[in-house]
Amino acid sequence: MYKVSEEAKIGMHATPEQMGDKLEGLPNDITRCSDECPFSVKIRVLPSTLTPLELEAFNIEAWEAWYNDSKNLNPYVPVPGEKGEEKINVEITVQQRDVESLYVEIIRIAPDTIKSGQILKRFQLAKSDEKKLKEGKGNVVVGTYLWEWDGYIDDVLDTKLLKDETTYIRAVGVIGSAFKDDAVQLLAQPFKECAEPVDWLDVTVNRKKKAVTVEWRVAFDDGGVSGKANADTPSFEELKRLAIEGIKKHWGGQINTTKGSYVVTVNPVLATKKAAPSLTLQVEMGSSYNRSVNASCACGTLAKLGRGLGNLFSDVTRVWYLQGRYGRSIADNEFLITVAHESGHPVLASYAYKSTGLSNYSWVHKGSSKGISSGYATPQKGEKGYEPMLFSKDFDLMKYYSEYVPPDLYRTVEFDLKSLIWLSLVKLGELK
């Protein structure tokens, strides 16, 4: 991530008068103001939350109603929560005198200087009504206006770009010849990243191609080998490769939204910063069935404890490669599905962050396993949350089933894909 210099930060928020001789040598399309026709244009991003494709939040009320209803034995069926918005609220003020043309620009500023940058998109705005602006041509009279932007640049929404520290938004007012001496533009604050509830996901939405690409930043720790390794024992590098392959294989698919149907591709990327809670990958050479687990769904707290206190909490985020039990071929397939499943727990937990306690939405696998008092056992037929074995359809990657399911039959259901994308929402402005 680039860092903006102190000089740049000062310049971003300064008026032409405050910058003084620092304006000398700047090109004409940067900040200039005519002495003969003084005026100013100001801009700021209001508190806004942009949710890609206007996906819904988790419905905690519906979940708790189902979970606490002992008579409802059916599997949980998700109920949509509050609908999100693809909207950034921007306030623009024209002062002193009317402008003949008004523009808003989305720009990238080089980290070392205020004198260089790249215009990503230029919008010309005109009055929509007394208090709002829309794309169009025409003069804009003195006043304060609201402009609503959906975050798309040439039909592409890139949450990573909006969060980047070098991305800025500015207003340009023009009197006379465009972008010459009679033009003034004042740089607003940059888009302020506020990645909540997670900072390890970003999406690119292409509304023309009806495609969503998810960047899922992941991290893995080396758990070594339990037992005696042999020439066929996979290395940590091989385990990481298999882990990436497993997430790619079992996450992705088609979603239907109010904006249309989209194909979702998930790209896991190894990262050391802004990564999902790390999973420890370990080989078991014995015949025992070591159970994989990811308790980092408690906002990563246990995972951090584990890494800080040696083996005391190490098993809370561990995925086992069971070579001794299965052999390489079967162990590979089992490992792919297990990594994909365990990686999904922080997705469920973060999406349903209002579901807390030891029987939260993630830990009970969306209601398909029992609570801690039963050791999270799988419900049997006639018990609450029992998932029938219907081999006519794929099986939910994040649920438990009472019988063995071949790994290739598991898939990410549409609801979990939407949950993943929802987590990439962008919060802008000074949110309280």
Instruction: Give the global pTM.
Output: 0.85
Write down the pLDDT at residue 234. Answer: 96
Average pLDDT score over the chain: 82
Given 193, 210, 226, the domain boundary residue is 193
Domain check: are 222 and 334 in the same one? yes
Domain check: are 145 and 220 in the same one? no
Smallest CA-to-CA distance from 304 within 277, 340, 267 is with 277
Write down the pLDDT at residue 40. Answer: 80
pLDDT (average), residues 22-29: 40
Strand 395-396, strand 133-135: pairing? unpaired
Domain check: are 102 and 230 in the same one? no
Residue pair 91/146 in contact by the 8 Å Cβ criterion: yes
Given 143, 167, 193, the domain boundary residue is 193
**pLDDT tens-digit series, residues 182-225:** 445 555 555 554 445 688 999 999 999 999 999 999 999 999 99
Lowest mean pLDDT among 175-179, 282-286, 417-421: 175-179
**pLDDT tens-digit series, residues 340-389:** 999 999 999 999 999 988 889 998 999 999 877 777 789 999 999 998 88
In a domain, 78, yes or no: no
pLDDT (average), residues 154-181: 80
Range of the domain at 96: 6-51+86-193
Q: How far apart are CA 351 and CA 270, in angstroms?
A: 22
Name residue 196's amino acid.
Answer: E
Write down the pLDDT at residue 112. Answer: 58
Lowest mean pLDDT among 104-113, 144-153, 241-250: 104-113
Smallest CA-to-CA distance from 275 within 240, 322, 249 is with 240
Write down the pLDDT at residue 113. Answer: 52
Domain count for the chain: 2
Write down the pLDDT at residue 116. Answer: 56
Domain check: are 36 and 131 in the same one? yes
Write down the pLDDT at residue 172. Answer: 83
Domain check: are 97 and 242 in the same one? no
Given 147, 173, 193, the domain boundary residue is 193
Return the DSSP state at 111. Answer: T
Lowest mean pLDDT among 136-150, 220-234, 418-432: 418-432
- State yes or no: pLDDT of 180 exceeds 90: no
Domain check: are 167 and 30 in the same one? yes
pLDDT band at 300 (very low <50, low <70, confident <90, very high): very low
Domain check: are 100 and 244 in the same one? no
Domain check: are 155 and 219 in the same one? no
